[in-house]
Amino acid sequence: MALTSSSSLPLPLPLHQQFTSPKYSKHPSITLSLSEKSSDSITPLSKSPTRTIPGDYGLPIIGPWKDRQDYFYNQGKNEFFKSRIDKYKSTVFRTNMPPGPFISSNSKVIALLDGKSFPILFDVSKVEKKDVFTGTYTPSTSLTGRYRVLSYLDPSEPNHEKLKKLMFRLLTSRSDHIIPEFQKEYTEFAKTLDREMMEDGRVELNALNDQFSFNFLAKSLLGVEPSDTELGMDAPILIGKWVLFQLHPVLTLGLPRVLDDIVLRTFQLPSFLVKKDYQRLYDFFYRNSTDSFNSEAEKLGVSREEASHNLLFAICFNTFGGMKIFFPNMLKWIAKAGVELHSHLSSEIRSQVKSSGGKITMTAMDKMPLLKSVVYEALRIDPPVSSQYGRAKQDLIIESHHATFHVKKGEMLYGYQPFATKDPEIFDRPEEFVADRFVGKEGERLLKHVLWSNGPESESPTLENKQCAGKDFVVFVSRLFVIEFFLRYDTLEVDVGTSPLGAKITITSLKRA
């Protein structure tokens, strides 16, 4: 997500997809470029074996403030990094990362902006992941019940294994509910979509997607209908306010520049302003956590209170946050790719579902190579979590494609994922949405360079690493989203705007099947 993260979406599903190599009918490549700005190829570097890391941090306070202005206002994220790559002739360099003073005591990082250097951020034998979930600052634990939740823990900390195991086992116990609850909730989603299109001729997707996503998660993972509880339909709004109080130092809300910068990045917003909102969410999860979840927490030596705070964070911040951002982003790329892709997708999906007796099954989904590729390509080109951090546990040697660099113990490493996953040395036409990029054996070999889950797509989360524990779950429900859409509709058109988290999507045309 566009959220800064070191262990996004910690909810698993024991559905590790086997990457088969089914015969793929040779559809023509369908491509689309939606770059923020036109980007030239990275300037080739001289092939020196060792190089001093270029860049500097500037004067105290002034340097971080100046970089912050460039990052948010003068240049924007992509140009901020691209201009420095061009300046230093290097994809590895020193810079400051927001928020800087006075929220962050140390904003100095070493940026890793290519697909070769970036993966060191996943190696927990070399980098520490303690309290780097949001980057160079850490929100108050008063926003998480006074607990350091799983996302902020390094695998070396004893509680990490307990809590990650608890999240793994949550979905193991609820895996049979995923498909049926998704289908039920998507049916309601589609009814609302059709009604609003008929009445207004256009649909604002994001709010509709938010409600759908939370309802699905509550029903599938907890077995409860939110509208039947005191929480009602308020969860998406409550979560939005709570997340804002954690991420405001690295967001922009579109306020006038001076006001935006002063309000969001001078001091952390006081947590008491969302205390009642958080309590409502906490009460919902405490009261509705399943008996098996509570029993498992007790066996692991985790109190019900701590387990409930972690459950809330995992579902509301990580999983709901991922669906909130990624589903509209994914639909944006699919819509913009045009009717040709829509025709191929609908044909593949409907054919396989028909062959399985009209049911969506794992076997049927595994025979949809274009569907799988489209989801992976959306995760590559528009990852829901754009930033990863890690602190060097020892003196390190880091390699880019063209140089070697020495990093000292204790230095903070930072990776901006969209540059790593659009590395022109790895991907052909990296700025384009290539729908069938990951089809076939050659395409599957590229999956190791899809990094959205805080690890390669070709690897799996474990108790010992910080890869997203919900990696398979996220990919699975993303495929379900596309399947359900193209079982009902032939094609769509959208308008794309911006929001603090991801794209703002308005569906302007929708053709039913």
The CA radius of gyration of the chain, in Å to the nearest whole number, is: 22
DSSP reduced 3-state for 301 = coil
Q: Is residue 387 predicted with pLDDT exceeding 50?
A: yes
- Who contacts 131 (Cβ-Cβ below 8 Å, separation ≥6)? 138, 148, 152
Average pLDDT over residues 7-18: 38
Average pLDDT over residues 368-384: 97
DSSP result, 374-385: HHHHHHHHS-SB
Which pLDDT value is given to residue 11? 37
Q: Examine residue 456 and say whether the peptide bond preceding it is cis (omega within 30 degrees of 0).
A: no
Q: Is residue 4 predicted with pLDDT exceeding 70?
A: no
The answer to whether residue 42 sits within a structural domain is: no
Which pLDDT value is given to residue 414? 98
- Residue of 361, 273, 332, 450 lying closest to 32 (CA atoms): 332
Compute CA 172 distance to the chain's CA centroid, rounded to the nearest angstrom: 22
Q: Which carries the bigger pLDDT value, residue 14 or residue 322?
A: 322
Tokens of 403: 């140089």
Which pLDDT value is given to residue 396? 96
In order of 58, 145, 162, 166, 379, the CA distances from 306 in angstroms are: 42, 8, 11, 11, 32
Q: Tell me: the pLDDT tens digits for 459-500?
A: 999 999 999 988 999 999 999 999 999 999 999 999 999 888
Which pLDDT value is given to residue 34? 39
Which pLDDT value is given to residue 15? 44
414 neighbors 389 (Cβ within 8 angstroms): yes
Tokens of 351: 């054919």
The answer to whether residue 17 sits within a structural domain is: no
Q: Which residues is 84 bridged to in the sheet?
A: none
In order of 307, 411, 449, 474, the CA distances from 288 in angstroms are: 12, 42, 39, 22
Positions at the binding site = 468
Amino acid type, 276: K
- The stretches of 26-157 forming alpha helices (DSSP H) are 62-69, 77-88
343 neighbors 233 (Cβ within 8 angstroms): no
Q: Is residue 39 predicted with pLDDT exceeding 90?
A: no
Q: How many CA atoms lie within 13 A of 463 on its CB side?
A: 13
Q: Tell me: the pLDDT tens digits for 60-88?
A: 999 999 999 999 999 999 999 999 999 99
The answer to whether residue 2 sits within a structural domain is: no
* CATH classification of the domain holding 496: 1.10.630.10
Q: How far apart are CA 293 and CA 11, in angstroms?
A: 13
The answer to whether residue 28 sits within a structural domain is: no
CB-based burial label for 14 (10 Å; 0-12, 13-18, 19+): exposed
Q: How far apart are CA 47 and CA 336, in angstroms?
A: 39
Q: How far apart are CA 290 and CA 224, in angstroms?
A: 10
Q: Is residue 9 predicted with pLDDT exceeding 70?
A: no
Which pLDDT value is given to residue 431? 97
Q: How far apart are CA 326 and CA 246, in angstroms?
A: 20
The answer to whether residue 96 sits within a structural domain is: yes
Token look-up 């996220």 returns 474
Which pLDDT value is given to residue 48? 58
Q: Is residue 179 predicted with pLDDT exceeding 50?
A: yes
Of the chain, the percentage scoring pLDDT greater than 90 comes to: 88
- Residue of 8, 44, 34, 13 lying closest to 425 (CA atoms): 44
Average pLDDT over residues 93-99: 98
The answer to whether residue 267 sits within a structural domain is: yes
Confidence of residue 47 (pLDDT cuts 50, 70, 90): low
Which pLDDT value is given to residue 162? 98
Q: How far apart are CA 271 and CA 507, in angstroms?
A: 36
Which pLDDT value is given to residue 5? 38
In order of 106, 293, 399, the CA distances from 47 in angstroms are: 32, 54, 12
The answer to whether residue 101 sits within a structural domain is: yes
The answer to whether residue 307 sits within a structural domain is: yes
For 143-154, b where at least 16 C-beta lie within 10 A, e where not — what string? bbbebbbbbbbb
- Residue of 476, 426, 382 lying closest to 78 (CA atoms): 382
Positions at the binding site for heme = 468
Q: Tell me: the pLDDT tens digits for 208-251?
A: 999 999 999 999 999 999 999 999 999 999 999 999 999 999 99
Average pLDDT over residues 159-167: 97
Range of weakest confidence among 33-37, 116-120, 126-130, 382-386:
33-37
Average pLDDT over residues 415-424: 98
Q: Tell me: the pLDDT tens digits for 187-215?
A: 999 999 999 999 999 999 999 999 999 99
Angle at 41 between CA 390 and CA 443, to 5 degrees: 70
Q: Which residues is 92 bridged to in the sheet?
A: 112
Structural domain boundaries enclosing 490: 50-512
Q: Which carries the bigger pLDDT value, residue 242 or residue 23?
A: 242
Q: How many domains does the chain have?
A: 1
Which pLDDT value is given to residue 171? 86
Q: How far apart are CA 73 and CA 77, in angstroms?
A: 9
DSSP reduced 3-state for 470 = coil
